[in-house]
Amino acid sequence: MREQRADLERREQRLSDREERLDSDIRTLEERTRQLDELKGDLKAQRKKLADAASQHQAALERVAGLTAEQAKAELIAAVEHDAKRQAVLVARDIERQAVRDAEGRAQMIVVGAIQRIASEQTSESVVSAVHLPGDDMKGRIIGREGRNIRAFEQVTGVNVMIDDTPESVLLSCFDPVRRETARMTLMELVKDGRIHPARIEEVHERSKNSISEQCLRAAEDALAEVGISDLHPALVPIVGTLRYRTSYGQNVLKHLIESAHLAGLMAAELGLNIAHCKRAAFLHDIGKALTHEVEGSHAIIGADLARRYGEHPDVVHAIEAHHNEVEVRTVEAVLTQAADAISGGRPGARRESIEAYVQRLERLEEIAGARDGVEKVFAMQAGREVRVMVAPDVVDDIAAQVLARDIVKQIEEELTYPGQIKVTVVRESRATETAR
């Protein structure tokens, strides 16, 4: 019992000690809680003071700067945005300049490569053709009795025949190359045959005209084969062929078209474009020059109307009408056609301005006279110093012929600028023809 009592006393002592420690810990916790509450109060007070100080500081800044916080923020954002845009523009400009430099270098390489691969001779235009004779006695037969044969030849062909002291040779002068070539073929056949008289001249001249038409057709077919066009409308082929004898600023138009087509094809291949469309557009871009004497308007618009009428692709038609910027350029093919045209016409020796101006003046002389009623044929001769007008005798009588000559002279004086004088001769000839059977 004593041992149990002693053990209980020890346990009670331990419990008492434990309670005292717990009481001490509780008091300590309560003290810490109180201290934490005080710290929380102090922290709230400090936060309030800091908020008041920040508000006072912001108000002071706003008073000094004259801006609210929102305004200052907006200005800051605007300033940052402006700087960012400026940096972006500078970077974009550098990139653009680099791209332009690279593009120019690439374009130069494409153009130079195309020019280098097109080896074309220089062209120069002549308005005189020489015809070799078997002997000087043939000159007298060409002239005929009292100049009858040479007058008939000039009247029928519209070409001026120049007979000088050059041995065994005569010169044919005319600004129209088709007319001059027809006259040359006519004279060569007359000389070869030996029979030269007015009726024979007309007969041979008609055959020469047909032969020239056949040559133009063959030239067109050869040109189309050279550029690889096989599906051109049959009505356009003879029109293309007439360009064999047409020139532009001294440059043969058909050769210019072939050259332009090759250039456009080479550049289109380098740029990854439709080669067939580009070559076709470049080949047909000057087709309107074959009809500038018959149709009013520029050759670009005339050519585009012609191509549209015969079913050409709209891109080809647009390239034709826009190659002189008469219509706003909308396609890459049109730009390439302009480039090929400029390269072909701009190379050294390709064109001459004076010949073209001279030809245009002579053509205008013939147009002025040909627009009159009763006029059958008009020939500008002697380098434009003489215009011979053939009239229908049943429409224009002798008095009307005088009036017609005076009216033509007056219009020439008003519209044209020319050196020296221009003589207008109106020829009214009556013929009676019967056939012996």
pLDDT (0 to 100) of residue 31: 92
Alpha-carbon torsion angle 279, 285, 289, 292, nearest 10: 150
Residues of the chain with confidence (pLDDT) below 50: 119, 121-125, 353
Rounded Cα distance, 299 and 33, in Å: 105
What pLDDT is stored for residue 238 in this prediction? 86
The model's pTM: 0.50
